[in-house]
Amino acid sequence: MTAAPIPQPPRVTRALTAPVRGLDRLRWLWLKALGPLAKPLVRRRELRVAVAGTSLIGLALLGAIFLPMWLLALGPIVWGVPHVLGDVRYLWVRPGHHRRLALSAAVGVSLLILSVTAHPSWGFASAGLAALLARGAWWKKALVAAVAVGLVWVAWRHSFWTAVVFAHAHNLIGVALWWSWRRRMGRLHWLPLAAFVAGGALLLSGWIDPLLYWAGALDPRPSGLDVYYHLGALAPAVPGMLAVRLVLLFCFAQSVHYAVWVRLVPEEDRPRETPRTFAATLRALRADFGAPLLALAFLAAVGLAGWAAWDVFAARHGYLRAVLFHGHLELVAAALLFVEGTRPRGATERAGQPAPARDAA
């Protein structure tokens, strides 16, 4: 009696995972080149996150100084879909909020109306509703709901200025969520935070203004996305170079925001200390979202890139219009975490996700 043949993955699956296996090979070569430095990076999550976070923040600062117009134009095209996927995955799916029907319905409808109307008041309303439906003390619910009502009133009276301020603030909310993700065993997590604060202070100080002109950083680059466009969107009515510095600060903070959801939070949320392979990461993504949704996200990323190759202005605008909800989803998550008295990683563990089994894949 012959043994049954081992089933092979479909040809399409093998084709899609081939680049991922190539990335694993490149990472292995990189770790091998590091020699004795590789072992502590692999074994110690705190060190790995501190090094990765500080390095990425340094790169974001250099990009904001020397290539800000290109970063503002292409950052959403390259990192937009992956970072929104991370947002939804770590703030909603892995904590199990999608299984709470009343919560999902209330927040989902509010964020859908926000996406259709582009009115920020609906985003703040979603945070208030989430707090009322959370599992926690009533005084916490009342406090968050009162703040949400105040923000809804401000947004209703001053929708444009609220949208401008929130565009800047939501980058900071992402950093704050990462920093509070889990209980720390040391102080290395202060390094990326210090680098982020120092980078922002440097951009706002004006010390690098001569460098901007020397490098031609503010010269028109992508069609329709010059510095004047961004001044109107991110720093309207702000005088002189202060407006330019606010645009650069947004550019820097947005890049860090992408790094948080694509690189840092996945490290923090993983139960094991050591990193996954890229192939295991792909399998874990498929386990969280399912193959159809993951394929849809992949097609959205490819379609956005193709659209940008044709018209980067329209592609960027279309993407930002489509994902208005995601910044307010971070507020919703923060409201739930406050009322329910847990850290983001704790919410994932409490949801009973079978994360260790996925990591072993």
SS (H, E, C) the chain: CCCCCCCCCCHHHHHHHHHHHHHHHHHHHHHHHHHHHHHHHHHCHHHHHHHHHHHHHHHHHHHHHHCHHHHHHHHHHHHHHHHHHHHHHHHHHCCCHHHCHHHHHHHHHHHHHHHHHCCCHHHHHHHHHHHHHCCCCHHHHHHHHHHHHHHHHHHHHCHHHHHHHHHHHHHHHHHHHHHCCCCCCCCCCHHHHHHHHHHHHHHHHCCCHHHHHHHCCCCCCCCCCCHHHHHHHHCCCCCHHHHHHHHHHHHHHHHHHHHHHHHHHHHHHCCCCCCCCHHHHHHHHHHHHCHHHHHHHHHHHHHHHHHHHHCHHHHHHHHHHHCHHHHHHHHHHHHHHHHHCCCHHHHHHHCCCCHHHHHHC
39 part of a folded domain: no
Supply the pTM of this predicted model: 0.88
pLDDT at residue 36, rounded to an integer: 80
Give the separation between CA 217 and CA 221, rounded to whole angstroms: 9
pLDDT in tens, the chain (361 residues): 455 554 445 554 555 667 777 777 787 777 778 778 888 888 888 999 999 999 999 999 999 999 999 999 999 999 999 999 999 999 999 999 999 999 999 999 999 999 999 999 999 999 999 999 999 999 999 999 999 999 999 999 999 999 999 999 999 999 999 998 988 888 999 999 999 999 999 999 999 999 988 888 888 777 778 899 999 999 999 999 999 999 999 999 999 999 999 999 999 998 888 888 888 888 889 999 998 999 999 999 999 999 999 999 999 999 999 999 999 999 999 999 999 988 777 666 566 544 433 333 3
pLDDT at residue 278, rounded to an integer: 82
Q: How many domains does the chain have?
A: 1
Give the separation between CA 338 and CA 141, rounded to whole angstroms: 9
Structure tokens at 56: 């990425």
32 part of a folded domain: no
7 part of a folded domain: no
128 part of a folded domain: yes
19 part of a folded domain: no
32: CB partners within 8 A, 6+ apart? 38
**Cβ 54 vs Cβ 191: under 8 Å:** yes
66 part of a folded domain: yes
First to last CA, the chain: 31
Q: Which residue has the tokens 């094991």?
A: 272
33 part of a folded domain: no
Give the separation between CA 345 and CA 270, rounded to whole angstroms: 9
User: Which residue, among 109, 111, 101, has the nearest Cα to 329 in the 3D structure?
Assistant: 111
Domain span at 334:
45-360
User: Which residue, among 294, 278, 284, has the nearest Cα to 348 in the 3D structure?
Assistant: 284
Give the separation between CA 269 and CA 264, rounded to whole angstroms: 9
303 part of a folded domain: yes
